[in-house]
Amino acid sequence: MATCSRARAGTLQACDLAAVVVQDSIKVVKEADKVVKEADKMMKEADKVVKEAAQSMEDAHKAAEEARGAAEEAHQTAAEAGETAREAGTLAARALSLSAVAVVVIVGSLQTLTFCPPVRSSIQMMGRAKSVILSAFGDVEVEGGGGTARAW
């Protein structure tokens, strides 16, 4: 019977140890469950962050496309403005050239007429202005004593 008692005592002791191991295992499983739940929360938060980042990247891409479109429009507008400025410059040069022709023709016409001395000295000053205009605008040509004038 002593052998049975020892066997029974050993079995009880083994059962007690097994119960402690089971209780510790339950605690470990509960802790693992908490860790899994916390990891799940973190994964959900990470998923939200990834979605927000993707949305931000999409918004940035759209903004970049809009900026590129605006830059292309600005470039086109600048090119059109440059062309308009060139045309305006050409027209201004033609107007200035025609004005010079008109002054040369008027001065040439006045020089062919006979006037009193004060008027004559004014006409001589205009004649000097005519020479300056002719030297400034090589594209103005006056033929004759006030007859024909051309501008290119």
Number of domains in the chain: 1
The span from the CA of 143 to the CA of 76, in Å, is 46
**Cβ atoms of 142 and 110 closer than 8 Å:** no
The pLDDT of residue 144: 47
* Angle, CA of 139, 145 and 147, to the nearest 5°: 70
The pLDDT of residue 16: 80
35 — pLDDT class (breaks 50, 70, 90): very high
The pLDDT of residue 19: 85
Q: Does residue 7 surpass a pLDDT of 80?
A: no
Q: Which domain holds residue 69?
A: 2-151
The pLDDT of residue 57: 94
Q: Which tens digit of pLDDT belongs to each residue from 82-113?
A: 899 888 888 888 887 777 777 766 766 665 55
The span from the CA of 10 to the CA of 19, in Å, is 14
